[in-house]
Amino acid sequence: MHDDRKLVEARLRRVLDERIRPAVYPESVPLRVAVWHAPGEPVPVAEGLAAEPAPIEVGARWGAPWGTSWFRVTGTVPRAWAGRTVEALLDLGFDENMPGFQCEGLVYRPDGTPVKGLNPRNQWVRIGAPVEGGEEVRLHIEAASNPVILDYHPFRPTLLGDKDTAGHEPQYTLTRMDLAVFDESVWQLVLDLEVLGELMAELPVDSARRWDIVRAVDRALDLVDLQDVGGTADRARAQLTGVLAAPAVPSAHRISAVGHAHIDSAWLWPLRETVRKVARTTSNMTALVEDEPEFVFAMSQAQQWAWVKEHRPEVWARVKKAVAEGRFVPAGGMWVESDTNMPGSEAMARQFVHGKRFFLDEFGIENEEAWLPDTFGFAAGLPQIIRAAGSKWLLTQKISWSQTNSFPHHTFRWEGIDGTRIFTHFPPVDTYNCSMKGSEIAHAARNFKDKGRARHSLAPSGWGDGGGGTTREMVARAARLRDLEGSATVVWETPRAFFEKAEADYPEPPVWVGELYLELHRATLTSQAKTKQGNRRSEHLLHEAELWAATAAVRTGFPYPHEELDRIWKTVLLHQFHDILPGSSIAWVHREARATYERIAAELTGIIEAAQRALAGEGETPLAFNAAPHPRAGVPAGGAATPRTEGATTLTARPDGAHVLDNGLLRIEIDARGLVVSAHDLRADRETIAPGAAANLLQLHPDFPNMWDAWDVDEFYRNTVTDLTDADAVTAGEDGASVRIVRSFGASRVTQVLTLPPGERRLVLDTEVDWHETEKFLKLAFPLDLHAERYASETQFGHFHRPTHTNTSWEAAKFEACNHRFVHLAEPGWGVAVVNDSTYGHDVTRTVRTDGDRGTTTTVRVSLLRAPRFPDPETDQGVHRFRHALVPGARIADAVREGWRINLPERSTTGAGEVAPLVTVDNEAVVVTAVKLADDGSGDVVVRFHEAHGGRTRATLTAGFAVGDVTVTDLLERPGGDGEPPVRDGERITVRLRPFELMTLRLRRA
C-alpha cells in the first residue's frame, strides 16, 4: 500500500482548523454591550451592578492597566433557535496563548450571583440547553484589565508592574460579544479527531495501531460534508467508534488526573488581584463539577480558600457543597505554597499548622499530602516537618526545570536531615498545567523513570494563574483516554487516591538523601533584600512576642494575644509565598510587602514591650531581656537579668593607616583599604584569614542571566569580578572597639562599621549600602585559612552539609545555595562561622594556598544585593543595612548560638528585678524554637525544641511553673509524635533526641 500518512495528517489539520472547529458555533447574533469603568480599586459587586454603563462597540479599546470595567451584555435569543443549545461567547480581547497572564472576567447574573470566570480558553457561558426561543439575556462581567507583564519578548523592563507607574493607556480590544448556537455533535467530533490525531502522532510510524487510526480518520473525513458539518458530524463520529473503543494494553502507564489551577498568591499581579483570580477559578470549577460527574478538582493554599470565604460567600456556599460531595478537594495542608528554602524553622512548621487547621475546622479534612508543584527547591529539614504535621506524602513538579542534571526518580522516598522519610512524587508529565494533549500524556508515559517497578503517575490538569482551571475540553479528552489502546490510561482521582495507589504499587522505592536542590532560580535567595529582611525580622519578632506574652500570661495574668498572633502569623506566612519571599514579583507586590512588614514590626514590638513591662515590674534595676535560646552575658535564655560585661577591647591606629582591634580573645587587623587582613584566634594561636587574602572584601559582578532576571543567576557571572578595595575613609570608631569604612563605586556608596565586642570571639560587620546599580551582583567575601571538603549551613531544625568541591556536575550546579543564620566550616578541632541577620544566598569555594602549592583555603561569600530589571525595574534601589559576624574558633555549637544571637539582640529596660525563664534546658545542643500558649485557648504551655548539633543527646527541660501533665504532640498540638517518650520528675522533663530530632511538648498547668 502506498504511504499516504502525511497526506491524511495534513488533511486532518486543515479540515479541523478551517471547517469543523468553526462549525461548533454555526449561527450567532451580536449582543448589546455597555461598560462602566470603576474609578480606582475594585468595587463591591453591588456597586458594579448598580453603576450606569455607557455603550461600547466590539472593536473598541478598553481597560487601563490594573483597572476594573463592568460590562453589561444584553440580547434576545432568536425564536428560530428553539430546541437548540445556546451559549454567550464573550471575548474581552483574549490571547489564547496566554491563559492567566492578561485580562480576565467574572460573569454575574443581574441578582449578583456569580456564574463562571472568563478566560482565554474559556469564553463561553451557557444560556440554555435547550432554549425555547425569545429569552431575554442579561449578564454582567466584572473585567480586570491586568496588563501583560510576561509577553512574547519576556524579561524586558516594564513600568506596568505597579499601578503608580503603569499609566492609563487602554490595554485590550473588545473582540466578540455574541449569542451563538452550540452544536454538541460537532464539538464531540472535534474532540474525537483531536484525541486520535494527537495519539496518532505519538505512536511509532510502523505500528499497526497508528495505521488503524490513520484509516479511521480518513474514512471519517470522507463523511464530513464541508458545507454541512453539523448535519454530517454524527455519521463521521460513527467511523471513529471502533478505534476509540479499543482498550489500552495491560501494561499501559496509569495516570491519575487531578483537576488543578495553580494560582500564584502574588506574582505578576498584586495580592488583591489574586483574591479575584481565585473567585473566578472557583466559580468555574464548581460549575464544572456540577456538569461532569467524574471530574475531581483539587485546590491548595488555605489562604486562597479563606479569601473565597471572606470575599465571595455565594461562591463559598458552592465550594462547601462540592467539598461535601468529595469532588472539590482541599490539598496540601499549607497556608500557601511557600518557598521552603528561606522560611525559618517555626515559620515552616506554622505553614502546616495554619493550613491543616483551616481545612480541619472548615471541612473536617486531614491533609496527608504536601502539595508544592512550583516551589524553587526543597530544604533538607522539610521531611521531618511534614511528618510532624501529621502528613506523609509530597508532590512537586519544579525539579524537572533543573538546568544541569536530570533527577533520577519520579517516585521515591525523600530522607531529611533527621532520617525522616517521605513518599514523594514528581509528575513525569513535567507540567502543573496539563491540558490532556496527546503529546503530554505520551511524554508522561515515556518520561516515567520508574518503569518496570511502578506504573502510576499524577497529572495536575488545568490552566493556572487565573487561566480558569480545568476546561470541559480537558474533561472530554480524559474521558476518551480512560482506556484507549496506544495511550496511558487516565482517570480523575483525588491526590489521596493517587498516593494510596502509588505507594501500594511501589512499596520499596529508592531513597534520596538531603536537599532537593533546584538547579535554577538560585538568585531568588537574594533578590528584593527588604522583603527577605522583613520576613526574617518578622519571624524573630513573632518568636519574641510568643515567648514574652506566654511568660507574662503565666506569671502575671497578662492577656495572651491569641487573635493578634494568629492574624500576624497568617500574614507572615502569606508573604512567604514562592514568588513573594523569593523576590520574583512585580514592584507593586514588594512595595506592599515592605509596608506590611513595617506594620507587623510595630504591632509585635507593642506586644513584646507590653509583656516585658508586665514581667519587669516597677523599679530601676537595669534589665536585659534575652529571647535567644542560649544564655549570654549572665542573662538566662528566655529570661531577664542585669547583664555583665567582661574584658575590654583596645584599638590601635598604625602609621600606615591600618587599625588593630584586640580583646584578648581575637586580634583583628584592618588595613588602610578597610579590609580584614588578619583575624587571629589568640587562644588557639590560629590565623583565620587565608594567606595573602583579605576578608570583608566587597566584590561586584555583572549579572545578566539568560532568562528569568529576578530568579536566575547564571554561573558565567563569576567570569568577571571587580574587587572594591578603594576606600574613601577608614577611621577609628569613637567607642574604641570599632573601625568605620566608607567606599564609593559606580553610583553607590557603602558605609561599614567593624566592631570587636569585649569578651567575645566575634567580629561584627554592620554594612549600609546605598545601592544604585543595575544588573550587578554584590558579594561580601571571607577567604578562610581552612581545608574543608564540606561545610554546614543552617536549615529548618538543624543544618545540612554541602561539599566545597565540584567533583561532579551535581556539586558544580550548587554554585549558589541557601543558609539561614549561619554557615560553618571546620578542620578537626577548629572552625569558623559566618553568621547573618537577614541574608540567605551564599557560595563556598576552594582555592590553592598562595604560600605554596600545598593545601587549600576556603572562601565563603555572602550574597548582599542584586539589581535585576524584570519584573521590577527598580529592584533593591536605595539604602540597605546588613549585619554579619565572623566567628573564629567556632564549633558548630558556637555557630548555632551566634546565629540566634545576631538575630535576637537583647532588649534593655529597667524593672524590679530578674525575670526567671518559663522553661530552661540544661544542654546547649537542645534549642528551643517556640514557647507559647496553646492555640486552643486552654492556657497550656507549648514548648518546641530540637537537637541542633547533629548528634544524639539527652537533656532536661525544667518548667518555671507547676506542671499538671506533659504530652508529646504533633505540630498542631494534638497528642502524637514518635521517638523516645520523655521522663517526668515534677517540673523536670528528661528527653532523649536523635540527631536533629524535633519534639513538641504540651505542658498543662497545675
Alpha-carbon span 42 to 46, nearest angstrom: 12
The pLDDT of residue 375: 97
Closest C-alpha among 626, 860, 889 to residue 761: 889
- What are the catalytic residues? 374
DSSP state of 469: B
All three cell numbers of 890, joined, read 567556632
296-316 pLDDT per residue, tens: 999 999 999 999 999 999 999
Cell 526543597 appears where? Answer: 378
What is the C-alpha radius of gyration for the chain, rounded to an integer number of angstroms?
31
SS (H, E, C) 526-576: CCCHHHHHHHHHHHHHHHHHHHHHHHHHHHHCCCCCHHHHHHHHHHHHHCC
CB 124 within 8 A of CB 87: yes
The pLDDT of residue 851: 74
CB 466 within 8 A of CB 119: yes
CA 245 to chain CA centroid, Å, is 43
All three cell numbers of 348, joined, read 515552616
The pLDDT of residue 951: 98
Alpha-carbon span 875 to 588, nearest angstrom: 11
The pLDDT of residue 880: 98
761-790 pLDDT per residue, tens: 999 999 999 999 999 999 999 999 999 999
b/e per residue 191-210 (b: at least 16 CB within 10 A): bbbbbbbbbbebbeeeeebb
The pLDDT of residue 368: 97
Give the pairing of strands 32-37 and 67-76: antiparallel
Per-residue confidence at 672, pLDDT binned at 50, 70, 90?
A: very high
Q: Coil, strand or helix: which one is 713? A: coil
The pLDDT of residue 853: 65
206-235 average pLDDT score: 97
674-692 average pLDDT score: 97
How far is residue 727 from each of residues 673, 678, 730, 740, 741, measured CA to CA in Å? 5, 18, 7, 10, 7
All three cell numbers of 810, joined, read 551535581
62-108 pLDDT per residue, tens: 999 999 999 999 999 999 999 999 999 999 999 999 998 999 999 99
Alpha-carbon span 477 to 442, nearest angstrom: 14
Give the pairing of strands 176-181 and 254-259: unpaired
How far is residue 288 from each of residues 139, 291, 319, 590, 808, measured CA to CA in Å? 19, 5, 12, 35, 49
808-824 average pLDDT score: 98
Q: Coil, strand or helix: which one is 267? A: coil
The pLDDT of residue 977: 77
Alpha-carbon span 995 to 990, nearest angstrom: 16
907-923 average pLDDT score: 97
> Is the pLDDT assigned to residue 546 strictly greater than 90?
yes
N- to C-terminal Cα distance for the chain? 90
How far is residue 643 from each of residues 32, 414, 753, measured CA to CA in Å? 77, 45, 24
CB 162 within 8 A of CB 324: no
For residue 499, the surrounding DSSP H or E stretch is helix 495-505
Alpha-helix residue ranges (DSSP H) falling in 858-999: 892-903
Name which of 445-459, 682-696, 793-807, 973-987 the model is least confident about: 973-987
All three cell numbers of 636, joined, read 538566662
> Is the pLDDT assigned to residue 114 strictly greater than 90?
yes
Alpha-carbon span 81 to 793, nearest angstrom: 70
DSSP state of 689: B
| Angle, in degrees to the nearest 10, between helices 229-238 and 184-202 | 50
Torsions phi, psi for 900 (to 5 deg): -65, -40
Per-residue confidence at 793, pLDDT binned at 50, 70, 90?
A: very high
Q: Based on the number of CB atoms within 10 Å of its own CB, is 621 exposed (0-12), middle (13-18) or buried (19 or more)?
A: middle
> Is the pLDDT assigned to residue 210 strictly greater than 90?
yes
173-196 average pLDDT score: 98
Q: Coil, strand or helix: which one is 625? A: strand
> Is the pLDDT assigned to residue 1 strictly greater than 70?
no
| Angle, in degrees to the nearest 10, between helices 5-15 and 208-222 | 50
Q: Coil, strand or helix: which one is 786? A: coil
All three cell numbers of 586, joined, read 512585580
Alpha-carbon span 490 to 259, nearest angstrom: 12
729-743 average pLDDT score: 96
> Is the pLDDT assigned to residue 430 strictly greater than 80?
yes
Contacts of 453 (CB under 8 A, 6+ apart): 506, 509
465-499 pLDDT per residue, tens: 989 999 999 999 999 999 999 999 999 999 999 99
All three cell numbers of 548, joined, read 514574652
b/e per residue 144-168 (b: at least 16 CB within 10 A): bbbbbbbeeeebebbebbbbeebee
Per-residue confidence at 855, pLDDT binned at 50, 70, 90?
A: confident
Tell me the pLDDT of the chain averaged across its residues: 97
Give the pairing of strands 822-827 and 790-795: antiparallel
b/e per residue 705-715 (b: at least 16 CB within 10 A): beebbbbbbbe
How far is residue 384 from each of residues 181, 206, 381, 422, 423, measured CA to CA in Å? 56, 50, 6, 8, 12
The pLDDT of residue 751: 98
CB 739 within 8 A of CB 754: yes
> Is the pLDDT assigned to residue 526 strictly greater than 70?
yes
Alpha-carbon span 867 to 777, nearest angstrom: 7
673-690 average pLDDT score: 98
For 289-294, the CB contacts below 8 A with 24+ separation are: 289/322, 289/325, 289/327, 289/328, 290/322, 291/472, 292/472, 292/475, 294/475, 294/479, 294/492
635-650 pLDDT per residue, tens: 999 999 999 988 999 9
